[in-house]
Amino acid sequence: MKFQPPFHELVTATHTPFHPDGSLAPEVVPTQARFLAANGIRTVFITGSTGESHSVTCEEKLMIYDAWAKAAPTHGLSVIAHVGGNCIEDCRRLAKRAGELDFTAISALAPSYYKPGSLKSLIDCCAAIAVEAPGTPFYYYDIPALTGVNFAMEEFLRQAPVRIPNLAGIKFTNPDLVSYRRSLDAAGNRFDLPWGVDETLLAALATGARGGVGSTYNWAPKLYFDLICAFRDGNMAEASRLQSVSIAMIDAIAATGFLGTAKALMTHLGVPVGPARLPLGNPDESQMDALLVRLKELGFESWGAKATVEKTAELVQA
């Protein structure tokens, strides 16, 4: 397996871009890459939950892979491709292509319609996918709130390496901090466990996290960079304040449907990722106006991602 340093950083879970009519818009990916790199991001996690994975076809994912394979090197970005889903054969095809494109890593969540009924079955699923890209680090994506699959991740780390030689760790999108600490103890220095719940990053740092993968890093990476710096400096009052800002920001966006509203915010910032696909909803103009007022109240100008040149003045005046 090729050398891969742990993801001890902020990794942005990117949106899959669509045209206003909902069709795929891979031509937007270079704009996404430029925007994220300009705001301090070095690694992206594509076609995951934030990327509406279950609403994107296998062929469309392959098109997005190709777009990121071209755009990422231009902007100094590494790419982690999410390859999971309900059809293992599609997952294997995606993993193989990600390996051929020399992506930094791949990741897969558990099948969630016909669910694995045991930890062994889950490992079997992951092994069947990971083997298609044997030279690429593999991360299991633990997100039980969406998959309904909830096994002890410390046991996964103990049992899975025999079946998955390229296992690199777990994308831990599970708010159970006790389980996370147990998993960190089981991981030791061998496996990487980036945290995936933006609202509790501070608690995760205190528990032992050293990096995170999140959707809000698309438009608010500085907020979390500052939070991490405050934590490392021992300034817990400031770190706590910034986490409270994060929670208030997420609450404001989620009030009108998180993914659709998040994509509308990115479009406002000059990255036209389009609407969310059904069954998700999208905000109307008045809802977006109210959101921009709320973000300004929360200090977006000081911690939000810098908009593209043509959008900066519009955001500041909102």
Q: Exposed/middle/buried for 168, CB within 10 Å: 0-12, 13-18, 19+?
A: buried
Q: Is 180 a catalytic residue?
A: no
Q: Is 171 a catalytic residue?
A: yes
Half-sphere exposure of 309 (CA within 13 A, CB side): 1
Listed in sequence order, the DSSP H helices in the chain are 29-38, 58-74, 88-100, 119-130, 144-147, 153-159, 177-187, 201-207, 221-232, 236-254, 258-268, 285-297, 300-303, 309-317
Q: Exposed/middle/buried for 49, CB within 10 Å: 0-12, 13-18, 19+?
A: buried
Catalytic pick among 61, 139, 171, 224: 171
245: phi then psi, degrees, rounded to nearest 5? -60, -45
Helix (H, G, I), strand (E, B) or coil at 162: helix
- What's the CA gap between 94 and 99, in Å, rounded? 9
Let me know the angle formed at the C-alpha of 295 by 292 and 296, rounded to the nearest 5 degrees. Answer: 85
Contact call for residues 54 and 96 (beta carbons, < 8 A): no
Helices 119-130/88-100 angle, 10° precision:
40
Catalytic pick among 65, 139, 140, 141: 141
Question: Nearest CA to 79 among 19, 37, 22?
Answer: 37
Measuring CA to CA, how many Å separate 37 from each of 9, 41, 72, 74, 205?
A: 13, 5, 9, 10, 24
Contact call for residues 76 and 42 (beta carbons, < 8 A): yes
Q: Active-site residue numbers?
A: 141, 171
